[in-house]
């Protein structure tokens, strides 16, 4: 997937290293996989961290395998038919979602089952393990997402349109990493509705009273 | 087998597994990598029995997926690491790992041995740098890879000279993008 505009905001080294190490919650991994699909710079950074994993494997103090382990394994390999080639990944449909996101949605943006969350904002929570949650957000052009602080880490990746907040402008492919301390008010730019992929490892806490009351119901 | 050419030798062995289904080459890869993968899985919290079983799965995958190994983009150790990592997520964490879109060379692509060798050399250099890190820094990186810390704990600076290997990989990606056009 190639981008028309230059990506200015990238994941941190710590996040890329954890994604390379395979220790992130599934929800965060999905945001990283989607960003890397859009960004060759981060694809190269990710491979570099995977090379660190290779270096660690090479330097491990060996734990001896069972004596017959190799022969047993070889016998199993030879005794079983060559496994059928794994089902190739569904062909990526034309659209704004990179492959890994299409896998979770079951298609591109037209396949998303949106739910309104108030003030014109819509969301769709994607199924992942429970260590964190990830959702698609649809913010009408020119609208604000209610002011919210964070109890954990929040990753937001723009797929269409753009938003601005205290940290700058985020367009397609840009990823914002918001931490505990941060309170921000993202506002979608006028023109095109903004669609983002956002993952959190703790529930968002909205500042305004009403959205906070609605929070448990909406799973936001 | 001297240390200077070791990574290149593993590459040759894996290519023999791929093209000739060479069992002796596979046995050599198994002798080197299986006990290290097993140790890696045990450090990550697997019991010895589970680590043994998962390691056999990892090496079976090495045999079956040898055709997917790309020596212009990863060393054998790195490729084996990614298989072990994915097995760990599956077996130990009962979760899955969304993968980025694949970028694969077109059917016309002739593997470039000079590029592959340059990448193996960068990998070896990185391995040596990793070994020479101050213990505290090395420990932090190891714990990150064994999943023993929260993702906010790591310092921004790992002290790893990743720039050289990154630009080598970046070159491969640029050639690939050029070929895809």
Query: Is the model's pLDDT at A189 over the cut of 70?
Result: yes
Q: Write out pLDDT tens, residues A147-173.
A: 565 678 899 999 999 999 988 999 999
CB contact under 8 A, B56 and A153: no
User: Mind telling me how many Å the CA of B116 is from chain A's nearest CA?
Assistant: 14
**Binding-face residues of B in 144-173 toward A, CB within 8 A:** 144-145, 147, 151-152, 154, 156, 158, 160, 162, 165-167, 169-170, 173
Judging contacts by C-beta atoms under 8 Å, the chain B residues touching residue A104 are 98
Q: Which of A14, A36, A40 sits opposite B177 (nearest CB)?
A: A40
Phi/psi zone of residue B30: left (φ > 0), alpha (ψ -120 to 50 degrees), beta? Answer: alpha
Strand partners, A19: none
| Residue B154 confidence (pLDDT) | 58
Q: Write out pLDDT tens, residues A127-152.
A: 998 889 999 999 999 998 765 656 78
| Residue B6 confidence (pLDDT) | 74
Question: Distance between CA A147 and CA A63 in Å, rounded?
Answer: 52
| Residue A202 confidence (pLDDT) | 75
Q: What is the mean pLDDT of residues B73-98?
A: 94
Query: Is the model's pLDDT at B156 over the cut of 70?
Result: no
Q: Which of A22, A51, A66 sits opposite B89 (nearest CB)?
A: A22
B130 CB near a chain A CB, below 8 Å?
Answer: yes
Nearest-5° Cα angle at B168, B162 to B172: 135
The residues, ordered by sequence, that sit 6+ positions from A128 with a Cβ below 8 Å of its Cβ are A25, A26, A27, A30, A104, A134
Question: At B145, is the pLDDT very low, low, confident or very high (cuts 50, 70, 90)?
Answer: very high
CB contact under 8 A, A22 and B170: no
Judging contacts by C-beta atoms under 8 Å, the chain A residues touching residue B14 are none
Nearest residue of B to residue A81, measured between CA atoms: B64
User: Quick check: helix, strand or coil at residue B33?
Assistant: helix
Nearest-5° Cα angle at B117, A57 to A74: 50
CB B24 within 8 A of CB B17: no
B40 CB near a chain A CB, below 8 Å?
Answer: yes
Domains of chain A in start order, with CATH, are 99-218 (2.60.120.10)
CB B67 within 8 A of CB A80: no
Share of chain A above pLDDT 70, in %: 85
Question: At A55, is the pLDDT very low, low, confident or very high (cuts 50, 70, 90)?
Answer: very high
| Residue B4 confidence (pLDDT) | 47
User: Mind telling me how many Å the CA of B108 is from chain A's nearest CA?
Assistant: 20
Question: Distance between CA A186 and CA A194 in Å, rounded?
Answer: 11
**CB-defined contacts A:B, below 8 A:** 202
Q: What is the mean pLDDT of residues A119-124?
A: 92
Question: At B151, is the pLDDT very low, low, confident or very high (cuts 50, 70, 90)?
Answer: low
Question: At B73, is the pLDDT very low, low, confident or very high (cuts 50, 70, 90)?
Answer: very high
Judging contacts by C-beta atoms under 8 Å, the chain B residues touching residue A26 are 95-98
Q: Positive or negative CA dihedral for B120, B160, A47, B166?
A: negative
For domain B3-180, which architecture applies? Orthogonal Bundle (1.10)
| Residue A25 confidence (pLDDT) | 93
The mean-pLDDT minimum among A9-13, A179-183, B127-131 falls in: A179-183
Question: Distance between CA A189 and CA A164 in Å, rounded?
Answer: 7
Q: What is the mean pLDDT of residues B75-80?
A: 97
Sorted by where each begins, the domain ranges of chain B are: 3-180
> What value does the mean pLDDT of chain B take?
88
CB contact under 8 A, B74 and A51: yes
pTM tops 0.95, yes or no = no
Share of chain A above pLDDT 90, in %: 62
CB contact under 8 A, A47 and B97: no
| Residue A17 confidence (pLDDT) | 93
CB A52 within 8 A of CB A174: no
Asked if ipTM goes beyond 0.85, one says yes
């Amino acid at each position: 997937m190639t981008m028309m505009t230059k990506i200015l905001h990238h994941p941190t080294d710590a996040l890329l290293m954890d994604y390379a190490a395979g220790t992130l919650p599934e929800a965060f991994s999905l945001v990283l996989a989607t960003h890397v699909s859009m960004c060759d710079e981060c694809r190269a950074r990710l491979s570099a961290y995977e090379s660190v994993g290779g270096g660690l494997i090479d330097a491990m103090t060996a734990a001896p395998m069972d004596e017959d382990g190799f022969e047993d394994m070889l016998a199993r390999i030879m005794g079983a038919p060559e496994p059928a080639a794994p089902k190739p990944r569904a062909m990526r449909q034309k659209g704004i979602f990179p492959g890994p996101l299409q896998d979770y949605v079951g298609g591109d943006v037209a396949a998303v089952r949106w739910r309104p969350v108030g003030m014109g904002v819509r969301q769709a929570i994607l199924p992942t393990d429970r260590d964190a949650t990830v959702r698609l957000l649809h913010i009408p052009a020119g609208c604000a997402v209610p002011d919210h602080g964070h109890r954990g880490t929040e990753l937001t990746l723009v797929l269409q349109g753009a938003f601005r907040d205290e940290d700058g402008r985020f367009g397609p492919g840009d990823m914002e990493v918001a931490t505990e301390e941060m309170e921000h008010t993202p506002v979608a730019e006028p023109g095109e509705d903004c669609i983002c992929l956002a993952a959190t490892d703790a529930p968002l806490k909205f500042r305004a009273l009403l959205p906070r009351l609605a929070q448990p119901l909406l799973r936001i | 087998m001297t240390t200077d050419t070791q990574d290149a030798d593993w590459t040759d062995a894996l290519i023999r597994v791929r093209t000739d289904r060479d069992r002796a080459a596979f046995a050599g890869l198994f002798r080197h990598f299986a006990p290290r993968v097993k140790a890696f899985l045990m450090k990550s919290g697997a019991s010895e029995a589970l680590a043994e079983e998962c390691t056999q799965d990892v090496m079976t995958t090495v045999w079956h997926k040898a055709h997917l190994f790309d020596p212009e983009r990863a060393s054998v150790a790195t490729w084996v690491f990614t298989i072990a990592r994915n097995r760990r997520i599956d077996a130990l964490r009962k979760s899955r790992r969304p993968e980025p879109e694949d970028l694969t060379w077109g059917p016309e692509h002739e593997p470039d041995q000079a590029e592959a060798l340059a990448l193996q050399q960068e990998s070896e250099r990185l391995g040596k740098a990793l070994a020479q890190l101050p213990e505290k820094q090395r420990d932090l990186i190891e714990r990150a890879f064994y999943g023993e810390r929260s993702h906010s704990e790591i310092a921004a600076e790992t002290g790893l000279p990743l720039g050289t290997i990154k630009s080598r990989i970046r070159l491969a990606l640029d050639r690939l993008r050029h070929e895809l056009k």
